[in-house]
């Protein structure tokens, strides 16, 4: 296998861990901000294959990580399902929130793939421009996290709307989860069909659920997505990211069937290396604030992560996305350090 990232995901250990950074393309890069100005809004940037592929490749030129991640957003699926999705400067995403089961009926799953079809052309363009030693990661949000945005209508402090809907009316919430699960499976398979080498499921709000709800809304739909992808693409690896899951990372790894798991910053990596099933590859988990601060403390943190993971296949990454205030020079320094491990 020619890609270090893919051979690590397949369980092989090498002399340096492959690396990439969550949100490696984005507002902290001046070249991103320049292209963002050209597009009429963030969603248009995501759905313009030429611009979105350029944005995907920007960090590849600057930092030479081992993988590119498709430039898009997890909220492209609710958009595909027919919801109005907007990204407002300083406020984040805003959606016309679902209020009741009638609103769920108004979703339009049949047209989802067609509405977001430009994404697949972006994948094709990126794969055709990347060399074989660089992997291309496709992604989607997990049904639970996507449903939180669909019901809360945007960022939320306590997730009371989505959680009370799930507690109050298990049946209609399950209908919504099923629609999003099916759309997510189709979306990920289409990305793989167009050239994505691996896929990642972002479950950013997995950590807000009680254990029984975690089983129902995080583990079960994730298992279904993993099984469906395995059936169609048995060699493609799936990375799960149940951010904030704490000790439930163990259950997540044991029950969902993901091939790799992204560990968030709050988790002790040596604990994870000890308790998580050895068949699963670990990715993570440097604090994005450490990257923002840079200097000696950044390199010390990176080095200690690598030491903690020396017994297992490991993909070096952050525990969450690069922050917009991060100096790109810090990322350059860290990338150089990581590339030169194991003799360069």
Active site residues: 23, 27, 36, 73, 149
Residue 85 or 112: the one with the smaller Cβ distance to ligand CP3 is: 85
Query: Interface with ligand CP3 includes 69 (CB under 6 A)?
Result: yes
CB of 12 to ligand CP3, least distance (A): 25
Q: Across-strand partners of 136? A: 68
Kindly give the pairing relationship between strand 92-95 and strand 85-88. antiparallel
Which of 17, 18, 80, 93 binds ligand CP3 (CB under 6 A)? It is: 93
Q: Return the residues of window 246-285 that contact ligand CP3 according to CB under 6 A.
A: none
CB of 103 to ligand CP3, least distance (A): 20
Which of 71, 120, 173, 316 binds ligand CP3 (CB under 6 A)? It is: 71
Which of 4, 6, 9, 25 binds ligand CP3 (CB under 6 A)? It is: 25
Residue 36 or 255: the one with the smaller Cβ distance to ligand CP3 is: 36
Tell me which stretch binds ligand CP3 (CB under 6 A): 24-32, 188-196, 220-228, 298-306: 24-32
Query: Interface with ligand CP3 includes 60 (CB under 6 A)?
Result: no
Query: Interface with ligand CP3 includes 23 (CB under 6 A)?
Result: yes
Residue 51 or 308: the one with the smaller Cβ distance to ligand CP3 is: 51
Residue 23 or 115: the one with the smaller Cβ distance to ligand CP3 is: 23
* Residue 2, CA distances (Å) to 41, 84, 133, 153 in order: 37, 42, 5, 43
Query: Interface with ligand CP3 includes 36 (CB under 6 A)?
Result: yes
> Residue 105, by phi and psi: left (phi above 0), alpha (psi -120 to 50) or beta?
alpha
Helix or strand or coil: residue 334? helix
Q: Is 299 exposed, middle or buried (0-12, 13-18, 19+ CB in 10 A)?
A: middle
Contacts of 262 by beta carbon, 8 Å cutoff, 6+ apart: 22, 200, 239, 240, 241, 243, 283, 284, 285, 317
Q: Return the residues of window 293-322 that contact ligand CP3 according to CB under 6 A.
A: 321
Q: Which residues of 173-191 are buried (b: 16+ CB within 10 A; e: fewer)?
A: bbebbebbbbbbbbbbbbb
Query: Interface with ligand CP3 includes 152 (CB under 6 A)?
Result: no
CB of 26 to ligand CP3, least distance (A): 4
CB of 311 to ligand CP3, least distance (A): 28
Query: Residue 310: how many CB atoms within 10 A of its CB?
Result: 10
Residue 32 or 165: the one with the smaller Cβ distance to ligand CP3 is: 32
Q: Is 25 exposed, middle or buried (0-12, 13-18, 19+ CB in 10 A)?
A: buried
Residue 9 or 70: the one with the smaller Cβ distance to ligand CP3 is: 70
Query: Interface with ligand CP3 includes 92 (CB under 6 A)?
Result: yes
CB of 18 to ligand CP3, least distance (A): 16
CB of 83 to ligand CP3, least distance (A): 14
User: How many chain residues interact with ligand CP3 (CB under 6 A)?
Assistant: 21
Tell me which stretch binds ligand CP3 (CB under 6 A): 69-77, 263-271, 294-302, 303-311: 69-77
**What are the start-end ranges of the H helices in the chain?**
4-9, 30-38, 42-46, 49-63, 76-80, 101-105, 112-115, 118-129, 143-152, 160-168, 170-193, 211-214, 220-232, 249-256, 269-275, 288-293, 295-308, 328-340
Proportion of the chain in helix, strand, coil states, percent, rounded to 5: 55, 15, 35
* Residue 134, CA distances (Å) to 47, 72, 198, 235 in order: 23, 19, 11, 17
Residue numbers at the binding site for ligand CP3 (CB under 6 A): 22-27, 36, 42, 69, 71, 73-75, 87, 92-93, 139, 155, 202, 204, 321
């Amino acid at each position: 296998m020619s890609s270090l990232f893919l051979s690590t995901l397949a369980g092989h250990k090498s002399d340096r861990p492959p690396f990439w950074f969550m949100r490696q393309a984005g507002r902290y890069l001046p070249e991103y901000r320049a292209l963002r100005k050209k597009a009429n809004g963030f969603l248009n940037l995501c759905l313009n294959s030429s611009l979105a592929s350029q944005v995907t490749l920007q960090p590849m030129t600057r930092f030479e990580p081992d993988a590119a991640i498709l430039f898009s957003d997890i909220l492209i699926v609710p958009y595909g399902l027919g919801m109005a999705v907007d990204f407002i400067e300083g406020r984040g995403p805003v959606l016309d929130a679902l209020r009741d089961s009638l609103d769920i009926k108004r979703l339009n799953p049949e047209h989802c793939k067609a509405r977001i079809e430009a994404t697949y052309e972006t994948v094709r363009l990126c794969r055709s421009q990347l060399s074989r030693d660089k992997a291309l990661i496709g992604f989607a949000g997990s049904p639970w996290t996507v449903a939180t945005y669909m019901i809360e209508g945007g960022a939320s402090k306590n997730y009371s709307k989505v959680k009370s809907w799930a507690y109050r009316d298990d049946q209609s919430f399950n209908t919504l989860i099923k629609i999003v699960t099916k759309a997510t499976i189709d979306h990920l398979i289409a990305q793989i069909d167009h050239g994505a080498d691996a896929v990642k499921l972002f479950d950013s709000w997995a950590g807000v659920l009680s254990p029984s709800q975690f089983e129902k809304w995080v583990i079960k739909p994730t298992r279904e997505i993993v099984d469906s992808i395995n059936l169609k693409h048995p060699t493609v690896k799936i990375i799960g990211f149940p951010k904030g899951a704490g000790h439930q990372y163990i259950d997540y790894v044991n029950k969902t069937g993901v091939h790799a798991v992204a560990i968030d910053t709050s988790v002790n990596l040596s604990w994870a290396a000890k308790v998580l099933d050895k068949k699963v590859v670990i990715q993570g988990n440097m604090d994005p604030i450490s990257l923002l601060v840079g200097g000696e403390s950044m390199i010390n943190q990176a080095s200690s992560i690598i030491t903690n993971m020396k017994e297992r296949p490991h993909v070096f990454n952050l525990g969450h996305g690069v922050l917009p205030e991060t100096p790109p020079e810090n990322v350059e320094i860290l990338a150089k350090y990581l590339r030169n491990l194991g003799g360069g």
